[in-house]
Amino acid sequence: MKIFIDTANLDMIREINSWGILDGVTTNPSLIAKEGVDVRTRVKEIAEIVDGPVSAEIMSVTAPEMIAEAREVAAIHPNINIKLPMCVETLKAVKVLSAEGIKVNVTLIFSAHQALLAAKAGAAYVSPFVGRLDDIGTYGIDLVAQIMQVFQNYGFATEVIAASIRSPAHVLDAALAGCDIATIPYDILKKMVQHPKTDEGIAKFKADYEKSVKN
Ligand code: E4P
């Protein structure tokens, strides 16, 4: 499974990139606003750090506007992909952009029907929001599994990004469902490294080593 980081913070991206496990980055308007930066400048900075896809969300509303804005943003750096929210105008824009070779991540996916339509229009990625579905009392991970099944049934090349990840368990669930990619917040990536038995084992080995060196 590919691992993306879900942030617009450069320090976090640099650190996770240094681990050697980072395949890409997703941003959204809320994450960019948290950094207080201009979206185009920031996605260029990110694309220069990470050797992989960087999703930049664009805010146009009609298909012609989406297409024009997407062309400009995609031209900033070869790593930049376009992120558009699921709606009819997005489907129309995806059809045109994918034919031009501009990769689109269709975001805010909350049903397998939406994912099917996005894939048929030519989306490179769809992003089902696992955590936000859990928030309303459903099992978000079930949606990921459904989409994987539908895409396998028909051989779609569209990759599935498990998004709105809130815990290491969500990442594991996505991997067990065979999901192509998980986009994970920084604090969850840090938690994935840790285990109390590992810390305990390291402390014991260190103590025993120091004893043996003294003897
Ligand atoms: C996906 O690309 C989104 O940026 C993100 O995963 C949304 O997560 P949230 O529900 O925690 O805001």
Tens-binned pLDDT, residue by residue, of the chain (215 aa): 999 999 999 999 999 999 999 999 999 999 999 999 999 999 999 999 999 999 999 999 999 999 999 999 999 999 999 999 999 999 999 999 999 999 999 999 999 999 999 999 999 999 999 999 999 999 999 999 999 999 999 999 999 999 999 999 999 999 999 999 999 999 999 999 999 999 999 999 999 999 998 76
Q: For residue 8, give both structure tokens.
A: 């617009």
Continuous segment of H or E residues that includes residue 196 = helix 196-214
Nearest CA to ligand 1 atom 6: 164
Nearest CA to ligand 1 atom 1: 163
Is 214 part of the annotated catalytic residue set? no
Longest CA–CA separation in the chain, Å:
76
Q: CA-CA-CA-CA torsion for 153, 159, 160, 165, nearest 10 degrees? A: 160
Catalytic residue among 2, 34, 44, 83: 83
User: Measured between alpha carbons, how far is 123 from 116 in angstroms, rounded to an integer?
Assistant: 10
